Structure 1
Amino acid sequence: MKSKDIQDIVLSKYLNGDTPTKIFRDLSGGVGLATIKRWCQMIRQYGSIELSSPPGRPRIARTSENIRKVKNRCRRKRRVSPRKLSMELDISERSVRRILKNDLGLRPYKKIAEPALSDDQKIKRKQFANWVRTNFRKEETLKILFSDEKLFDIDGIYNSQNERVWAVDRADADKRGGIKEKRKFPQKVMVWLGVCSKGITPLVIFDEGTVDHACYIEKVLPVALKYDRWPPNSPDLNPLDYSIWDELANAISWNKAKSKTILIQQLKSSINKVRESVVFESCASWTNRLYRVYQNNGNYLRE
């Protein structure tokens, strides 16, 4: 409760005949008895509570000058570190965070990694979206086969920002799996997969290296797609990239994948765990994504 609200309560209760001691008890110690007596004396003298200065300890860090400096710094540079600001202004990092959040109304946002699209690529993405929407009905797009290749390594999937371990301290967190060991040169496997609304193709596993152009055509595609209209740099339009690969990766028992051979076994067994509903929904939502691309002038789609 704000100080002004408490003052209004004290004023109302005192005018209704409550003593300072009773008001103190009713507020459950929210304000000291000596403060309440002083306020009641003001009410008797002036008819209201008049404070010469704001209650509480005066600000020594979140001053108007420091707020102005932080605001100007944020305008000059896109990346602002509370730790560096605290060193520059000689105030605590906690005070800097309060200035950023409470005084300036700012929030920290993580940088988002996305493909760098040229103006020409944006135009092609928009043209592609319009071409599909003009020439194909919804039920026809459900027959389209999407394909992609992805590199898996035996270290598995790991997101340092999203994965958390709840524990009483760091040592307890370490015991509960709070350490993710990363090999310097983990063994890797390149796989290819196709998907449409009816299901997914068998995995094509390249266990002897990565996929170059010749290998891709020879082992995956019987003929080169001479009239391929797929826009460049557009993983956000491929159901494999925005849905299926994550589904497959989450189905793998990564604690068992200790070698390249076992990783391949896990890939082959986990492909059967990809849910049909996820496959269908990711393909069925494709035309909606095309519409969004067309509406935002070919820019990359953010989830």
Structure 2
Amino acid sequence: MELDISERSVRRILKNDLGLHSYKKKVVEPLLSDDQKIKREKFANWIRTNFRKEESMRILFSDEKFFDIDGVYNSQNDRVWAIDRADADKNGVIKQKRKFPQKVMVWLSACSKVVTPLVILDEGTVDHAVYIEKVLPVALKYGNQVFGSDWVFQQDGAKPHSHHLTQQWCRDNFPSFIIKDRWPPNSPDLSPLDYSIWDELVNTINWNKVQSETTLIQQIKSSFKTFVNQLFLKVVLALPIDCIVFVKTMETICANKNNPVL
């Protein structure tokens, strides 16, 4: 408008003369503060110094995720073919979401050899007491079954995890664990559950059958059985490689031309 050029001319200049293409913005990584970058750098160097390949394969990764009855959709791939916009709206192109959808929290852990059972946390607020009572014993049981007395438990920096009683329970029971001050903040890309397993599980759920919290839990449980049977070799046994990627990811995130880690 400032140059008094038509939109068609601008598009022609952008595409034909300049050879440019239009790209959608994508959220590909969390926004990190300078302090968070420093903590990631320290963590990456700590991993590189203290964990060899075989040791990284004995990390039991854990995470929680909220599932709600509105389900998920992919704004790029989930499409409706229609004559016009009104017809598309009529046939479900608009994804409706409730203001306060029913939801449940699910905990899961995985390592190079096993995926533990799900722990459904559907009783309201999950504080450190609930976490200690219902989650940590499951992690301890399966970690000991798979690795004996030589393995490392990982959890992120959520408040129930960083509570002093939770940290004390971990010190008293786990052979080793990553303490609250070690795991870097804002780190959804550092665990294989975040960058692989949760997405696979979400896509296995039949969301058309989810109408309430009860049916949501039923679908999560049944889909998890299918997920484990179909994707165990693909996802879980690939974790030794993913553990290397886990380290390299932090090195890449932390490294820059002014302050390289490598």
TM-score, scaled to structure 2: 0.71
Separation of aligned partners in 2, 1:89 and 1:216? 61
> How far has the Cα of 1:131 moved from its partner?
2.2
Conserved? CA contact 1:198–1:280, under 8 Å: yes
**Cα distance between partner residues in 1 of 2:188 and 2:134:** 22
The verdict on how the C-alpha distance between 1:210 and 1:244 changes in structure 2, with shifts beyond 3 A counting, is farther
In structure 1, the residue matched to 2:23 is 109
| 8 Å Cα contact 1:122-1:298 kept in structure 2 | no
How far 1:236 sits from its partner (Å)?
0.8
SS in 1 for 2:105: strand
**Residue 10 of structure 2 corresponds to residue 93 of structure 1:** no
CA–CA separation in structure 1 for the residues paired with 2:21 and 2:247? 31
Give structure 1 stretches of 5+ with no counterpart.
1-86
Q: 1:80 aligns to what? A: none
Report if the CA contact (8 A) 2:57-2:239 is conserved: no
Change (3 A) 1:212 1:91: farther
* Aligned twin of 1:245: 198
1:49-71 Cα offsets, whole Å, 9 max, x none, are xxxxxxxxxxxxxxxxxxxxxxx
Identity, % of aligned pairs?
A: 69
Shift of 1:121: 2.0
Specify the alignment match of 1:82 in structure 2: none
Per the alignment, residue 251 of structure 2 pairs with 294
Cα distance in structure 1, aligned partners of 2:33 and 2:60? 27
Say which of 170, 180, 186 aligns to 1:233.
186
Local SS of the residue matching 1:192: strand
CA contact (8 A) 2:60 2:109 kept: yes
Give the distance between the partners of 1:92 and 1:216, measured in 2 at CA: 60
What amino acid maps onto 1:188 in structure 2?
Answer: K
1:146 match: secondary structure: strand
| Letter paired with 2:9 | S
Q: 1:262 to 1:295 in 2, by over 3 A?
A: closer
1:1-303 → structure 2 map (5 Å cutoff):
87-113=1-27, 114-170=29-85, 173=88, 177-222=92-137, 223-224=166-167, 225=170, 228=179, 229-274=182-227, 275-276=231-232, 277-282=234-239, 284-297=241-254
Quick one: structure 1 residues 249 and 296, their matched pair in 2 at CA, closer, same or farther if it must change by over 3 Å?
A: closer
Deviation at residue 158 of structure 1 after TM alignment: 1.3
Cα distance change, pair 151–292 in 1 and its aligned pair in 2 (3 A): closer
Post-superposition offset of 1:195: 1.0
Helix, strand or coil at the partner of 1:285: helix
- Is the CA contact 1:165–1:177 (under 8 Å) kept in the aligned structure 2? yes
Whole-Å Cα distance in 2 between the matches of residues 121 and 298 of structure 1? 13
Q: Give the deviation of 1:174 after TM superposition.
A: 5.2
CA offset at residue 186 of structure 1?
1.5
Partners of 2:24 and 2:84 in 1: CA distance:
25
2:158 corresponds to which residue? none
CA distance in 1, matches of 2:239, 2:83: 40
| Contact 1:190/1:209 (<8 A) preserved | no
Cα displacement string for residues 240-278 of structure 1 (whole angstroms, at most 9, x for unaligned residues): 110111011001000000111000011111112221111
Task: Provide closer, same or farther for how the CA distance between residues 282 and 107 of structure 1 changes in structure 2, counting only shifts above 3 A.
Answer: farther
What is the number of equivalent residue pairs in this alignment? 213
Cα distance per residue 1:80-111 (max 9 Å; x no partner)? xxxxxxx5445443332222233333333333
In structure 1, what is the Cα distance between the partners aligned to 2:201 and 2:45? 31
CA–CA separation in structure 2 for the residues paired with 1:156 and 1:141 = 34
Note the C-alpha offset of 1:172. 5.4
Letter in 2 for 1:192: W
Letter matched to residue 22 of structure 2: P
- What is residue 32 of structure 1 aligned with on the other side? none
185-194 vs 207-216, which moves further? 207-216
- 2:62·2:110 contact (CA, 8 Å) conserved in 1? yes
| CA contact 1:237–1:286 (8 Å) conserved in 2 | no
TM-score by length of 1: 0.62
